[in-house]
Amino acid sequence: MNIKRLFVLTAILLLCTLTLRPGYGQEEFPVLEGSYMGQKPPGMVAEPFAPGIISKEGWELEGVFAPGMQEFYFTTRGGERSRSTVIGFRQQNNVWRKFTEFPRTGELSFSPDGKRMHMAKGYKDRQGDGWSERKGLGPMFEREDWGIMRLSASAKGTYVFDDYKSKDVIRISTLIEGKRQVPELMGVEINSGTYTAHPFIAPDESYLIWDSKREDGYGDSDLYISFRQQDGSWGPAINMGDRVNSSRWDAYASVTPDGKYILFNRGIDEDNENVDIYWVSTKILETLRTSSGN
């Protein structure tokens, strides 16, 4: 056997090994068909998302659909994945298939137009069917004394982000005539309690969801919401209630781009070694808005 033929056969064998290796190929997941990764949507009480498929024993969190509802991403860790890893699925011809896997360098969120994937202090821009290399947001956000886990953007370009290096606070940065404004601390309505983090701002800026541990909570961190008032201020923090929150860690909410469902994380055990993705209907938002008098 000549050297060229041996090289080709070796390359083919290596490719097959990587493709079939657990945790790296589509074989890790069943074929899923239909909307929402083929899952039956929940009602007004939170349920596990894709139980036994996405939400299973171990560490699965940060589930988010990209605008257009044809891509879904989540983060996992454990087994052959020694570090936090993002797995992405894409829907083609009504079938969802894994199409990418990459190390997590910041919690994912998307600009409402779907053209940008935010990753903490960085981002990737949409390029055809894929994404650009990760880029930095610049000195205004890349300060060493700020610890950004998640940054969320509105349709107007407003950024809302957390900062774990500054005693767990949330900051906001607006665009005025196309110029990025210096981030400011949000008010006490938002920045109260402990472990305040993971904000999600509605595309139209009508509400903000985040998680925090407060005296009126159910145990660990809970999800809270604040509705934008007619004068432009943010309303009081409203605990999202026991149909969403539990006695465990509930955090990292995002609303599907079609506006119909909220996805979030829930710790299943006390140490958060087992974390699942849950979801619930956004109809609960109107109930909360009505009860708050907004």
Q: Which domains does the chain have, with CATH numbers?
A: 31-292 (2.120.10)
Dump the DSSP string for 124-139: EEEETTEE---EE--T
Question: How many C-beta atoms surround the C-beta of residue 277 within 10 A?
Answer: 22
Q: What is the C-alpha separation between 200 and 211, in angstroms, rounded? A: 10
Mean pLDDT over 172-193 rounds to 97
Collapse the DSSP code of 213 into the 3-class scheme (helix H, G, I; strand E, B; otherwise coil) and give the result. Answer: strand
Residue 161 pLDDT grade (very low, low, confident, very high; cuts 50, 70, 90):
very high
2 or 207, greater pLDDT? 207
- What is the chain's mean pLDDT, rounded? 90
Question: Which is nearest to 66 in space by CA: 126, 121, 17?
Answer: 126
Question: Which is nearest to 149 in space by CA: 199, 214, 74, 208?
Answer: 199
The separation between the first and the last C-alpha atoms of the chain, rounded to the nearest angstrom, is 78
Question: Of 4-18, 80-94, 222-236, where does mean pLDDT reach its minimum?
Answer: 4-18
**Phi/psi at 124 (nearest 5 deg)?**
-125, 145
Q: What is the pLDDT of residue 23?
A: 42
CB 150 within 8 A of CB 197: yes
**What are the pLDDT digits (tens) for 63-113?**
999 999 999 999 998 877 889 999 999 999 999 999 999 999 999 999 999
Q: What is the C-alpha separation between 202 and 82, in angstroms, rounded? A: 34
Question: Which is nearest to 184 in space by CA: 216, 161, 157?
Answer: 161
Collapse the DSSP code of 236 into the 3-class scheme (helix H, G, I; strand E, B; otherwise coil) and give the result. Answer: coil
CA 232 to chain centroid, in Å, comes to 26
Residue 41 pLDDT grade (very low, low, confident, very high; cuts 50, 70, 90):
very high
139: pLDDT strictly greater than 70: yes
β-pairing, 122-127 with 116-119? antiparallel
Question: Which is nearest to 157 in space by CA: 136, 174, 182?
Answer: 174
Collapse the DSSP code of 61 into the 3-class scheme (helix H, G, I; strand E, B; otherwise coil) and give the result. Answer: strand
Question: What's the sign of the alpha-carbon dihedral 188, 216, 109, 157?
Answer: negative
Q: What is the pTM of this model?
A: 0.89
Q: What is the C-alpha separation between 131 and 108, in angstroms, rounded? A: 13
Q: What is the pLDDT of residue 4?
A: 43
